[in-house]
């Protein structure tokens, strides 16, 4: 392993440890609202693995299905959150759509609506929910690459969260990635309808052979999850 690679790895590890400690501190010690109670607010991370079941999402140049990569990265992010003592839930834990089998038509729309209702249903007094949707990108040309974060315009905190995740992805995954965060329009249903701080992370392009290979790597998926977590930590620590 080359020297600069070792240094980068050490720096990333230290930053991640710091991020874990910071987010844990913020979650536990966040000041209580002025309600006459001494109970502090805490963050709840809702991790949404995009697609699932009959909805495979994009298909990689090697035949990999987006839904499977989304779930793998989502589970890794959940594990990191749990290790840091951060409350989190997954919208799905298996290869399935979020819709009852009895629903026979418009299943995709029901699935998307259920993701939004699941996330918004976690909002309660003393709980600050944060919605992180994991996806993979795709494009007819194979030249494009790089993680990019979209955010919901319905809660102003979404933009700040997206910027932090985009920054940590650039720092720890790909310093040459100059992509900017973008506000989601009506084409991204979950971000268009949700009313809590929410982002959608396009982790990379399955249409790019080199990036697709990385996205299929268990070790790179762990790095992805860690970078996303570091962004969440940066956001919560800066509020």
Give residue 72's pLDDT.
99
Q: Give tens-digit pLDDT for 118-177.
A: 999 887 788 999 999 999 999 999 999 999 999 999 999 999 999 999 999 999 999 999
Q: Give how many domains the chain has, as a whole number.
A: 1
DSSP string, 164-218: HHHHHHHHHT-TT-----EE--TTSHHHHH--SSEEEEEEEETTSHHHHHHHT-H
Rounded to a whole number of angstroms, the CA Rg of the chain reads 18
* Mean pLDDT (the chain, rounded): 87
Burial 9-26 (b: 16+ CB within 10 A, else e): eeebeebbeebbebbbeb
**Rounded distance, CA 46 to CA 90, Å?**
6
Contact 68, 74 (CB under 8 A): no
Give residue 19's pLDDT.
54
Q: Which residue, among 221, 233, 235, 234, has the nearest Cα to 85 in the 3D structure?
A: 233
Domain with 22, as residue range(s), is: 3-238
Q: Which residue, among 139, 8, 110, 11, has the nearest Cα to 52 in the 3D structure?
A: 110
- 23 pLDDT band (50/70/90 cuts)? low
Burial 220-229 (b: 16+ CB within 10 A, else e): bbbbbbbbbb
Which CATH number covers residue 184? 3.40.630.40
User: Which pair of structure tokens corresponds to residue 139?
Assistant: 């494009």
- 101 pLDDT band (50/70/90 cuts)? confident
Q: Give tens-digit pLDDT for 32-81.
A: 444 444 445 789 999 999 999 999 999 999 999 999 999 999 999 999 99
3-state secondary structure (DSSP) of residue 226: helix
């Amino acid at each position: 392993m080359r020297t600069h690679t070792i240094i980068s790895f050490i720096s990333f590890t230290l930053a991640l440890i710091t991020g874990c400690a910071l987010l844990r501190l913020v979650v536990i010690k966040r000041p209580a609202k002025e309600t006459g109670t001494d109970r502090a607010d805490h963050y709840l991370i809702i991790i949404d693995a995009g697609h699932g079941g009959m909805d495979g999402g994009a298909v990689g140049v090697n035949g990999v299905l987006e839904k499977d990569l989304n779930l793998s990265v989502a589970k890794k992010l959940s594990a990191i959150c749990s290790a840091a003592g951060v409350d989190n839930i997954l919208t799905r834990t298996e290869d399935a759509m979020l819709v009852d089998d009895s629903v026979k038509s418009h299943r995709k729309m029901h699935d998307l609506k259920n993701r939004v209702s699941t996330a918004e249903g976690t909002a309660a007094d003393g709980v600050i929910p944060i919605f992180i949707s994991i996806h993979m990108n795709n494009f007819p040309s194979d030249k494009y690459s790089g993680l990019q974060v979209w955010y919901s315009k319905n809660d102003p905190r979404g933009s700040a969260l997206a910027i932090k995740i985009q920054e940590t992805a650039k720092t720890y995954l790909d310093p040459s990635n100059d992509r900017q965060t973008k506000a989601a329009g009506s084409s991204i249903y979950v971000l268009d309808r949700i009313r809590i701080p929410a982002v959608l992370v396009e982790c990379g392009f399955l249409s790019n052979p080199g990036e697709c290979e990385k996205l299929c790597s268990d070790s790179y998926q762990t790095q992805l999850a860690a970078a996303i977590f570091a962004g969440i930590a940066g956001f919560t620590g800066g509020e």
